[in-house]
């Protein structure tokens, strides 16, 4: 009898647990002691850091989890044990706009991202993509 394995297990066997191929070819980058999912995200962090030093924005944070809530309450994972979340690349207060900005650095918008953005819009949260 042939032993079956999941696609994730196969990829981990082929590439190792830390070297799985990235979606859309993005390469992880380390900058200022932090790891970013792509070069573009690291560059945007650098831009936003400079804007914060200049006083144009404040409260800059990265990789902030926002729970997804539907009409009937929290949207749960398939196991039903945890709430699904959207992880924002950056959140900050823009002083010129006078509002909090939720920003995601995307090279390509995936179907999952489009779904999560729509759920957040229903919650009253607008996600700005750069």
The verdict on residue 2 lying in a domain is no
The verdict on residue 101 lying in a domain is yes
Domain holding 68, by residue range, is: 21-129
The verdict on residue 68 lying in a domain is yes
pLDDT, residue 4, reads 78
Neighbours of 73 (CB within 10 A): 8
pLDDT, residue 32, reads 85
Largest CA distance in the chain: 66
pLDDT band at 26 (very low <50, low <70, confident <90, very high): confident
Give the number of domains in the chain. 1
Q: What are phi and psi of 126, to 5 degrees?
A: -95, 130
% of the chain exceeding 70 in pLDDT: 87
The verdict on residue 5 lying in a domain is no
pLDDT, residue 118, reads 96
The pair of structure tokens assigned to 5 is 């394995």
The verdict on residue 6 lying in a domain is no
The verdict on residue 15 lying in a domain is no
Rounded to whole angstroms, the Cα distance separating 93 from 101 reads 6
The verdict on residue 8 lying in a domain is no
pLDDT, residue 19, reads 53
pLDDT, residue 5, reads 72
Rounded to whole angstroms, the Cα distance separating 33 from 85 reads 25
pLDDT surpasses 70 at 46? yes
Which of 55 and 26 is assigned the larger pLDDT? 55
The verdict on residue 27 lying in a domain is yes
């Amino acid at each position: 009898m042939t032993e079956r394995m999941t696609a994730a297990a196969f990829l981990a066997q082929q590439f190792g647990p830390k070297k799985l191929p990235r979606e859309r070819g993005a390469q992880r980058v380390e900058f200022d002691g932090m790891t970013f999912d792509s070069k573009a995200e690291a560059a945007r962090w650098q831009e936003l850091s400079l804007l914060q030093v200049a006083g144009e924005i404040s409260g800059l944070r990265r990789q902030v989890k926002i729970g997804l809530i539907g009409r009937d309450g929290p949207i749960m994972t398939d196991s039903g044990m945890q709430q699904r979340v959207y992880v924002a690349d950056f959140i900050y207060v823009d002083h010129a706009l006078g509002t909090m900005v939720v920003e995601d650095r995307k090279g390509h918008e995936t179907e999952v991202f489009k779904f999560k953005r729509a759920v957040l819009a229903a919650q009253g949260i607008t996600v700005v993509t750069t």
